Structures are given as C-alpha cells and as structure tokens.
C-alpha cells in the first residue's frame, strides 16, 4: 500500500517538532495557523513563546489584542493572530472554553478553512479527514500525474478525493503528518529526492520525467510597487509613532509617521511636499539622516522604503496631537510591521 510506504518513510525521517508531541487541539491549532504562511524553522520559537505566554484557550481569550499581536511580531499576516484571538473568545463563550471536537464545529471558527479543520480533526481527534496543504498537493500531483490546479473548485475536489483515497483506513493522525512531512522533506518543490524515494516505482512524475512540470504552476498575481517614506521623528529619548488604519496592509500596527508617494522621490521633493508641510508645520526640525532599505516584498506588493531621520526639540513633541510619543526603552512593546521592527533593532 502506498500509504504504508509513506508512513514507514515518516517513521525514519520525521523531524522532532514541538507540536507533534501533543494531542491538545489548542496547541495544534496554534501551530497550524502559524505554519500557514511561515516556514517550520521560523515557527518553532514563535510557537514555544506563544504557548508559554498563552498556555490555554482561556489565557488567550483573556489577553488583550496588543499582547497577542506582540507575540506575532515578525511572523507577518497579522490577521491570523487577530482571528486566533477572536476564535479563542468564541470558544470561551460558545463552547464553555473547550475546543470543539467535530470537523463541522471546528470549521466554523474564525480563520479556519478546510485544510486547518481537517488537520486539527485528524491530529487531535483522530477523525478520518485527509488534509491537503501545498505539500500534499505537490505529492499527489506528481504521484498520480494530475495537472489540474488547486485554485479551481474542480481541482480542489479532485485532490481531496485522491487524498481521501490514499489515506483509506490508515490512522489519520499519522498518515496526515507523514504525507505533509514527505512533501516538505522528500518530494520538495525543487530537486525532489527521487533516487531514494520509496514511491519511485509507482510515481507518474518519476516514470515520465515530469517532476519539473507537476504540479501545475499557479498563475502569477499582479504585484504593485509602493513608495514609503517613514519619518523617524526623534530626540535623545523619544520618537513618534502612529497607528495604521483598518483598510490597508499591517492593520492597526504601529509605525513611524508615513508619507507615501506614487513613485521614488528625492529628499528635497519630500521636504517640499504637502504631506511634509501638513505634518511638520510650525515645528523646528533638523533632517539628520536618510536611509534606503531593501525592497520589502509582500505577496502582492513591493514596498520601497526609506527612513528619514528628523530631529526635534523635546518641547515640540506636544504639538503632535494625533501621534504617540514613545520612550525608546519601551518602543518594542508596540506591535509593528516587520520593516519598522527590523529598522529599530538595527539602530
Ligand atoms: S519519485 Fe520523486 S516526484 Fe515521485 S513522489 Fe518520490 S520524490 Fe516525489
């Protein structure tokens, strides 16, 4: 049976990851959400810190949003943290604080889709749900020679049926871990290790030399360029922050006052811009430094970021009514977008 070959491979090759040593649905849930857009090596430390600070559903539900976001700082895609927090409150209110134990209830929680509901159902409750993430999709596509993409409903259905069939009556918690790990370590996107693969004899892609063709490539999404000019307005002990709004990237996170331009502009044009004038009207300033950083890439946006240092006198801080004057010592308590956090850490 193909599934027992995958499970045997797993027993010899699996990594020792902290969320694999538990059947607590809460911990499995946290790990699955963190792993959605982040690599395993990065997640381990974040996961341990998060579980340490919020060891239970009730601890997470009682925390305030800023605390939760602070633990997410650097992982990106902050809506994941907000959804976790909101779902924890809903478990507390609607399920007496006990994680629901059926797929149909799990999938109702905020931020949980078919894959995550299947994974939690299988890992924590040993229910017969085959989880199809990017790793599983790649393995199935190559193994069975399926060129349909998972972005279409037809493709999703086809891969789900294949995954269910392959799992058959194997123990769901082991089989799912095994095939996900197999995709992550053996049947990798680039250079799959076919020469020592236990599925070689049955693998369509190997037999037909189609490893580079399968799975079908996703259509490229249009990426836009944005030009951010951050003003680090400071003196010896303090600097200014503002909170981002609801409708853009980095929702509600804290950042330096920002001037966004339609394209790259020179410092002199920035200083003469209307936005600069509005922000720094009647303030005595000294521009001390300008730093251009690497382009920060998000899934649909390239952010070209520059930091301009603007020194002001202590008494001037009071004039910025809508901005927050922050003590440098405690600035890291504010959840911030990664480029700001990295910038401050490197200062
Ligand atoms: S033979 Fe190669 S392509 Fe096929 S399952 Fe194994 S690693 Fe993947």
304-345 residue pLDDT tens: 999 999 999 989 999 998 999 999 988 888 999 999 998 998
pLDDT band at residue 203 under the 50/70/90 scheme: very high
Residue 178 lies in a domain: yes
pLDDT, one tens digit per residue, over 224-252 is 999 999 999 999 999 999 999 988 999 88
Question: 202 is written with which tokens?
Answer: 């049955």
- Whether residues 83 and 148 share a domain: the answer is yes
Residue 217 lies in a domain: no
Q: 11, 32, 148, 341: which is the annotated catalytic residue?
A: 32
3-state secondary structure of 273: coil
301 sits in which H/E element: strand 301-312
Residue 218 lies in a domain: no
- Whether residues 280 and 203 share a domain: the answer is no
Indicate which atom in ligand 1 lies nearest the CA of residue 194: 2
Residue 297 lies in a domain: yes
- Whether residues 121 and 231 share a domain: the answer is no
Question: Which candidate, 61, 49, 54, places its Cα nearest to that of 18?
Answer: 49
Residue 212 lies in a domain: no
- Whether residues 300 and 333 share a domain: the answer is yes
3-state secondary structure of 30: helix
The residue nearest atom 8 of ligand 1, judged by CA position, is 187
Indicate which atom in ligand 1 lies nearest the CA of residue 193: 7
Question: Last residue of some domain: 207, 232, 265?
Answer: 207
Distance, CA of 347 to CA of 327 (rounded, Å) = 15
Q: Are 197 and 187 in contact (CB under 8 A)?
A: yes
Residue 76 lies in a domain: yes
Range of the domain at 123: 2-207
The residue nearest atom 2 of ligand 1, judged by CA position, is 194
Total domains, the chain: 2
Q: Which residues contact 317 (CB under 8 A, 6 or more apart)?
A: 235, 238, 240, 325
The predicted model scores a pTM of: 0.78
Indicate which atom in ligand 1 lies nearest the CA of residue 197: 6
How remote is the CA of residue 143 from the centroid of ligand 1, in Å?
Answer: 7
* Block residue for tokens 């381990």: 44
Residues flanking ligand 1, CB < 6 Å: 139, 142-143, 186-187, 192-194, 197, 199-200, 203, 205-206, 211
Residue 214 lies in a domain: no
CATH of the domain at 313: 3.90.79.10
- Whether residues 101 and 158 share a domain: the answer is yes
How remote is the CA of residue 211 from the centroid of ligand 1, in Å?
Answer: 7
Whether 286 is a known active-site residue: answer: no
Q: Is the pLDDT of residue 48 over 90?
A: yes
Alpha carbon 110 to its chain's center: 16
Residue range 278-298: mean pLDDT, rounded: 90
pLDDT, one tens digit per residue, over 16-31 is 999 998 999 999 999 9
Distance, CA of 303 to CA of 322 (rounded, Å) = 25
Question: Last residue of some domain: 158, 182, 207?
Answer: 207
Share of the chain above pLDDT 90, in %: 82
Q: What is the structure's pLDDT at 293? A: 80
- Whether residues 292 and 187 share a domain: the answer is no
- Whether residues 240 and 187 share a domain: the answer is no
Residue 219 lies in a domain: no
- Whether residues 196 and 249 share a domain: the answer is no
How remote is the CA of residue 220 from the centroid of ligand 1, in Å?
Answer: 25
The residue nearest atom 4 of ligand 1, judged by CA position, is 203
Question: Which candidate, 170, 129, 145, places its Cα nearest to that of 4?
Answer: 170
How remote is the CA of residue 200 from the centroid of ligand 1, in Å?
Answer: 6
Integer-rounded Cα radius of gyration of the chain: 24
- Whether residues 154 and 233 share a domain: the answer is no
- Whether residues 196 and 231 share a domain: the answer is no
Q: Is the pLDDT of residue 112 over 90?
A: yes
CATH of the domain at 7: 1.10.340.30
Q: What is the structure's pLDDT at 347? A: 58
Indicate which atom in ligand 1 lies nearest the CA of residue 203: 4
- Whether residues 148 and 250 share a domain: the answer is no
Residue range 263-271: mean pLDDT, rounded: 92
How remote is the CA of residue 221 from the centroid of ligand 1, in Å?
Answer: 28
- Whether residues 306 and 194 share a domain: the answer is no
């Amino acid at each position: 049976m193909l599934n027992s070959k995958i499970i045997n491979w797993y027993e010899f090759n699996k990594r020792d990851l902290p969320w694999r040593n538990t059947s607590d649905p809460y911990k499995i849930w946290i790990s699955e959400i963190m792993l959605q857009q982040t690599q395993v090596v990065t997640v381990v430390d974040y996961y341990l810190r998060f579980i340490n600070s919020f060891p239970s559903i009730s601890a997470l539900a009682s925390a305030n949003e800023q605390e939760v976001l602070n633990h997410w700082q650097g992982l990106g895609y902050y809506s994941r943290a907000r959804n976790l927090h909101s779902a924890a409150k809903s478990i507390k209110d609607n399920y007496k604080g006990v994680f629901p134990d059926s797929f149909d209830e799990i999938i109702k929680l905020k931020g949980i889709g078919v894959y995550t509901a299947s994974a939690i159902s299988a890992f924590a409750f040993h229910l017969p749900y085959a989880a199809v993430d990017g790793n599983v999709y790649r393995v199935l596509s190559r193994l069975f020679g399926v060129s349909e993409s998972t972005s279409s409903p037809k493709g999703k259905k086809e891969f789900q049926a294949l995954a269910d069939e392959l799992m058959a009556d194997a123990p769901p918690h082991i089989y799912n871990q095994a095939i996900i790990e197999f995709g992550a370590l053996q049947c990798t996107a680039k250079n799959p290790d076919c020469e020592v693969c236990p599925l070689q004899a049955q693998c369509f892609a190997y037999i037909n030399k189609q490893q580079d063709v399968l799975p079908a490539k996703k259509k490229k999404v249009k990426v836009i360029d944005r030009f951010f000019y951050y003003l680090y307005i400071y003196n010896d002990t303090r600097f200014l922050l503002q909170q981002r709004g609801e409708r853009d990237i980095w929702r509600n996170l804290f950042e330096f006052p920002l001037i966004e331009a339609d394209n790259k502009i020179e410092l002199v044009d920035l200083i003469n811009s209307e936005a600069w004038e509005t922000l720094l009207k009647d303030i005595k300033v000294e521009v001390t430094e300008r730093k251009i950083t690497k382009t920060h890439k998000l899934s649909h946006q390239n952010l070209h970021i520059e930091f301009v240092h603007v020194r002001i006198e202590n008494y001037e801080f009071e004039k910025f009514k809508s901005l927050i004057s922050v003590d440098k010592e405690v600035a890291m308590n504010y959840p911030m977008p990664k480029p700001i956090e990295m910038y401050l850490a490197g200062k």
